[in-house]
Amino acid sequence: MKTMTLHEALRWASSFLEQRSLEQPVAEWLLRHYLQIDRAQLLMRLHDPVSDELLTRLKQDLARHVEGIPVQHLIGYEEFYGRRFTVNSDVLIPRPETEELVQTVLGLKASYFADRRVTVADIGTGSGAIAITLAMEDPKLNLYAVDISEAALTVAKKNATELGASVSFLHGDLLEPLFERELRMDIVVSNPPYIPLAEEEELAVHVKEHEPHLALFGGDDGLVLYRRMVSRLPAVVKDEAIIAFEVGVGQAEAVREMLQQAFPIAETEIRRDINGKERIVLAYGQLR
């Protein structure tokens, strides 16, 4: 039997995925992972022969992906803000939209605090993607990262160590670890669980069965955790501060109103993501 080239293996795998209505780039991600090469190197090596072992591994991983295992769990990581973050079933896989939340926070920090050293809390840190990225992008940020899941914190700490980020990790429920330590923040950022419970059946199997429900669902209307955080925020933020939330589709105005009620003199704002969806809700400036 003729040996397959990388190009033929990629074409076969992409067709296999397309027939099952799955994302075709998964084939490329797997091959790049096996060979430890980037996209440009893959394109240069398309005529290279593929070993039987690699082809067997590709078929096995594609079969597991069809069963619902996310490709990020198969390869063990996800790219976020140009860095590689370890992920597993204990943490939410970082999404591209959340990179925009990080960008927004960095931009507001530069506007309001310039080069001052400020203290930031990432609430519900999961893999640590937000906290670690902020710490590495701006060394003047003093980062705390909170999660209720010990397993998630284990993953986040591993990522911080591997990437060389300085982040203080706290175990606890939302803002409580900050409150208990009487810590006051200049910036609070959070991408909490916001999917309404009623939408569970609509989720893709890769999400529903392989990502932690603790990190996905936000009660009956998806807003439970925002309400709890906003009720506690006045006790943990400084008089001048920045609050930045990522929200689900259709939730932005309700969350903005919560922040406006808690901080009547603050600037509040809704920003859209790259796809035009209302994704980021902000309160900033003089809060009280």
Confidence at residue 211, expressed as pLDDT on a 0 to 100 scale: 45
Q: Domain map of the chain by residue range?
A: 6-67, 90-286
Both tokens of 238, joined, read: 């400084």
Quick one: CA torsion of 12, 16, 22, 23, rounded to 10 degrees?
Answer: 0
- What's the pLDDT band for 278 if we cut at 50, 70, 90? very high
Residue 90: per-residue pLDDT: 85
Give the N- to C-terminal CA distance of the chain in Å, as an integer: 74
Tens digit of each residue's pLDDT (9 = 90 or more) over 211-235: 444 444 444 566 888 988 999 999 9
- The dotted CATH code for 90-286 is 3.40.50.150
Q: Give the separation between CA 151 and CA 171, rounded to whole angstroms.
A: 10
Answer yes or no: is pLDDT of 25 > 50. yes
pLDDT tens digit sequence for 167-198: 999 999 989 999 999 999 999 999 986 554 54
User: What is the pLDDT at residue 215?
Assistant: 43
**Phi and psi, residue 222, nearest 5°:** 80, 0
Q: What does the angle CA 236 – CA 237 – CA 239 come to, to the nearest 5 degrees?
A: 135
pLDDT of residue 156 exceeding 80, the answer is yes
Q: Which two tokens stand for residue 239?
A: 């008089």
Query: Residue 208: which pLDDT band, with cuts at 50, 70 and 90?
Result: very low
Query: What pLDDT is stored for residue 243 in this prediction?
Result: 97
pLDDT score of 203 more than 50: no
